[in-house]
Amino acid sequence: MIKKAKPKAKIDKKAGDALSIEIAGLKLRNPVMTASGTFGYGSEFAPYTNLEKIGAIIVKGLSLMARQGNPSPRIVETPCGMLNAIGLQNVGVENFIRDKLLFLRMLKTPVIANIFGETVDDYCEAAKRLEAAGGVAGLEINISCPNVKKGGILFGTDPHEAHKVVKAVRDAVKLPVITKLSPNVTDIRVMVMAVEDAGTDAITLINTIPGLVVDVERRRPVLANVIGGLSGPAIRPIAVRMVWEAKSVAKVPLIGSGGIISANDALEFILAGASAVQVGTANFLDPDAAVKTAAGIADYCKRHRTTVKALVGAMKTGQ
């Protein structure tokens, strides 16, 4: 990390330090990350955006073994959003290390590996191998993917299961550990306290919300998996509310995710209590969305003579 932090620090100087923020020991040049599963393995976006201007790149969710994912159709558009049921298709940790990490290591931008598994051991083994490989700045544990019938969902909605997997991964590696929560719970604060107690260094919220779209003419679900995860601007008010609720109990930094299309959207999350944000579905509308969002936050900070650090949770309620 130190080796990485130095050059970044320089960039921060140039850009002015208004945007830089440290999360779970990760020094970020700006608070805008790319959300897992919406930015591939980074290299795919090289022709379209400046990867060095992104706060951090979170790669597609990785499992110990490669996964083929769900049959098609896997995606469908919804009002101001989309459902996806990719089924966590991915190349697997080993192929990622062999084929994808080389390119990512050349970037100054910190790379965060998003991991998932069907057992606690899967999570830990994946985490260890990624740490051993080097070049990964941190881990994001996905306990919340709603697409896969087995695994995921259980960890994400039961505080005890969540605690178990996060603690195990936390004990297995030295890398910063971010836990990504599912919104599909009655009280997000319970989950926040559980994963904090398990030793997570930061918390990302929210992942997608389970949804269903019916093809009325064919009288079948549009998605082969029936249920998919809802993402995009449609869910933003729900995500901002959950960040605000989480902030009321959280001791570790929060990372906001859900429907961020613009700097204004990102600032809603930051003011509600997020120290950083993730741009997801917006990458599909504009492959330069993350960089534009960061630039917009810089403008806001200049206009208001403030810094991102000062804006975190700065929303005032009451008269």
Ligand X SMILES: Cc1cc2nc3c(=O)[nH]c(=O)nc-3n(C[C@H](O)[C@H](O)[C@H](O)COP(=O)(O)O)c2cc1C
Q: Which residues are known to be catalytic? A: 145
CA distance linking residue 10 with residue 229, whole number of Å: 39
Residue 63 CB, nearest approach to a second copy (Å): 25
User: HSE on the CB side for 218, CA within 13 Å?
Assistant: 8
Residue 238 interacting with a second copy (CB under 8 A) = yes
Q: Which stretch binds ligand X (CB under 6 A): 22-30, 125-133, 257-265, 297-305?
A: 257-265
Residue 222 CB, nearest approach to another protein (Å): 9
CA distance linking residue 241 with residue 125, whole number of Å: 34
User: Is the bond preceding residue 73 a cis peptide, omega within 30 degrees?
Assistant: yes
Residue numbers 293-312 binding ligand X by CB under 6 A: none
Near a second copy by CB under 8 A: residue from 11, 133, 168, 227: 227
CA distance linking residue 67 with residue 89, whole number of Å: 5
Task: Please spell the DSSP secondary structure of 252-273, one letter per residue.
Answer: S-EEEESS--SHHHHHHHHHHT
Closest CA to 290 of 33, 69, 41: 33
CA distance linking residue 72 with residue 77, whole number of Å: 14
Fill in the per-residue mask, 46 to 85: x = in contact with ligand X (CB under 6 A), - = not in contact: --------------xx----------------------x-
Interface contacts to ligand X, rule CB under 6 A: 35-38, 60-61, 84, 86, 88, 114, 142, 145, 180, 207-208, 231-232, 235, 257-260, 279-282
Instruction: By CB under 8 A, name the binding residues for another protein.
Output: 37-40, 44-45, 47-48, 60, 68-69, 71-77, 79-82, 84, 86, 89, 232-233, 261, 281, 283-288
